[in-house]
Amino acid sequence: MSTPTRPRPAPLAAELTFVGRGLRHSRRNPDALVLALALPVFVMVLFVHVFGTAIDTAGTRYVDYVVPGVILLCAGFGASSTAVGVCEDVLGGTVDRFRTLPVRSAAVLTGHVVASLCRNLVSTALVVGVALALGFRPDATPLEWAAAAGLVVLVVLALTWVSAAVGLVARSVEAASAFSFLVSFVPYVSSAFVPTDAMSPWLRWVADHQPATPVVDTLRGLLTGTAVGTAGWWAVAWSVGLLAAARVWAGWLFRRPPRA
């Protein structure tokens, strides 16, 4: 066994290594991968063919109405699974091992985030593909498509960083995975699946003021040409605010001294 002289690490070596690790994990976790790919299909079929027949969307075809909501639902679910991966790394001792290395060990979170982004872009593309097959007819220009994609990236990044922070605080993998479950309920109380004016007054107030509504309204406007109003600004503000706050929170959680 030879004793190598330790080379000087290249800039971003840790980040690149952890991103590679995250992508390998995404490919090799069959349960999560199948779920991430099957969920969009199930949800889309469920909403368009089961619920859609009973929901009145005031002249808009339901399939055109619901696609942005399904995009958000799936992206939210996919992003929030990051909490499980991070939690497993913490509880399994992997994070401790990285912490004993002379590298920026917080880059392990960056690896999880980039992997989540890649997974969710694939899954979003799948949602759109299934939607088109089921009769979704967007009228977006290439610029509008790009803007919609940009918003999805921003939302996924924000939700993934929140999940990473949750993964760091969770004391069990079960708790971390309960978070994914809860996040997937957020779009239901928004304009994602039914117009908010059909809701009771206080629920409508919640729906109108929570971040999922401006995100969905913006995506819908970009893809199908409905009115966006100020929703676009709200969507960006919510996403950037959440992203910044979660990034700081996760960084703090990672650096704080461990409990035991």
Partner 1 sequence: MAAHSDPPAAIRVDGLRKAFGRRRVLDGVDLAVAPGTVHALLGANGAGKTTLVRILATLLRPDAGAAVVGGHDVVRDPQGVRRAIGVTGQHTSVDELLTGAENLRMMARLAGFDRRAARARADELLATFGLEDAAGRRAGTYSGGMRRRLDLAASLVAGPRILYLDEPTTGLDARSRLGLWQLVAELRDRGTTILLTTQILDEADRLADRVAVLGGGRVVAEGTPDELKRWVGAELLELAFASAADRAAAAEALAVAGARPPATAEPRVLQVPTDGSGDHVRHVLDRLAAHGVHAEHVTTRRPSLDDVFLVLTEPGGGRPAGDLAVAAP
| Residue at token pair 């982004």 | 117
5-64 residues near partner 1, rule: CB under 8 A: 5-10, 13-14, 16-17, 20-21, 24-25, 28-29
Tokens found for residue 186: 């957020």
Provide φ and ψ at 196, rounded to 5°. Answer: -70, -20
Identify which range of 1-9, 38-46, 48-56, 201-209 contacts partner 1 by CB under 8 A: 1-9
Regarding 204 and contact with partner 1 (CB under 8 A), the answer is no
Regarding 256 and contact with partner 1 (CB under 8 A), the answer is no
Nearer to partner 1, 16 or 199 (CB): 16
First-to-final CA distance of the chain: 35
Identify which range of 98-106, 162-170, 197-205, 233-241 contacts partner 1 by CB under 8 A: 98-106
Member of 58, 59, 102, 255 binding partner 1 (CB under 8 A): 102
Alpha helices in 81-211 (DSSP H): 82-91, 94-99, 107-133, 142-169, 173-183, 201-209
Q: Residue 135 class from Cβ within 10 Å (0-12 exposed, 13-18 middle, 19+ buried)?
A: exposed
Q: What SS3 string covers 223-254?
A: HHCCCCCCHHHHHHHHHHHHHHHHHHHHHHHH
Nearer to partner 1, 16 or 153 (CB): 16
Member of 49, 97, 137, 171 binding partner 1 (CB under 8 A): 97
Instruction: Say if CB 13 and CB 105 are below 8 A apart.
Output: no
DSSP letter string over 87-119?
HHHHHTTHHHHHHTSSS-TTHHHHHHHHHHHHH
Tokens found for residue 239: 């996403």
In whole angstroms, what is the distance from residue 12 CA to residue 16 CA? 6
Identify which range of 53-61, 86-94, 113-121, 166-174 contacts partner 1 by CB under 8 A: 86-94
Tokens found for residue 251: 């960084």
Give me the least distance between CB of 77 and partner 1, in Å please: 21
Nearer to partner 1, 6 or 143 (CB): 6
Q: How many residues bind partner 1 (CB under 8 A)?
A: 35
Regarding 255 and contact with partner 1 (CB under 8 A), the answer is no
Regarding 2 and contact with partner 1 (CB under 8 A), the answer is yes
Regarding 4 and contact with partner 1 (CB under 8 A), the answer is yes
CB count, 10 Å around CB of 147?
A: 18
Give me the least distance between CB of 260 and partner 1, in Å please: 6
Member of 53, 58, 59, 93 binding partner 1 (CB under 8 A): 93
Q: Residue 36 class from Cβ within 10 Å (0-12 exposed, 13-18 middle, 19+ buried)?
A: buried
Give the interface with partner 1 as residue ranges (CB under 8 A).
1-10, 13-14, 16-17, 20-21, 24-25, 28-29, 92-94, 96-103, 257-260
